[in-house]
Amino acid sequence: MPDLSVWPVLVLVFIRCSTFLAASPLFAIPGIPAVVKSGFAFILAVIIYPLAAPAEFAVEEGLWGFVLMALSEAAVGLAMGFICTMVFNALRMAGQLIDLQIGYAMSQVMDPVSGSMNTLLGRFFYYTALATLLCMDGHHGLIWGLAKSYQVLPLTAAEMSGDAALFVTRVFADTITTALKVAVPITSVLLMTDIALGIMGRTAPQMNIFMLGFPFKIMLGLVSLAVLLPLLGSVFSSIFDQMQKDLLLLVKGLS
Q: Where are the domains of the chain?
A: 79-254
154/59 Cα distance (integer angstroms):
15
Query: Which residue ranges in the chain fall short of pLDDT 50?
Result: 1-4
- What burial letters (b/e) apply to 31-52, b meaning 16+ CB within 10 Å? eeeeeebeeebeebbeebbeeb
Q: Helix, strand, or coil here: 180? A: helix
Query: For residue 110, which phi and psi values (nearest 5 degrees)?
Result: -75, 125
Q: How many CB atoms lie within 10 A of CB 156?
A: 18
Q: Helix, strand, or coil here: 77? A: helix
Q: How far is CA 151 from the centre of its chain?
A: 23
pLDDT for 4: 46
pLDDT, tens only, 185-242: 888 888 888 888 778 777 777 777 777 777 788 888 888 888 888 888 888 888 888 8
98/184 Cα distance (integer angstroms):
8
pTM: 0.78
Question: Which amino acid is located at 236 in the chain?
Answer: F
pLDDT for 105: 67
pLDDT for 223: 86
pLDDT for 1: 36
In this structure, the chain runs to a length of 255
Report which DSSP code applies to 223. Answer: H
pLDDT for 2: 41
246/183 Cα distance (integer angstroms):
22
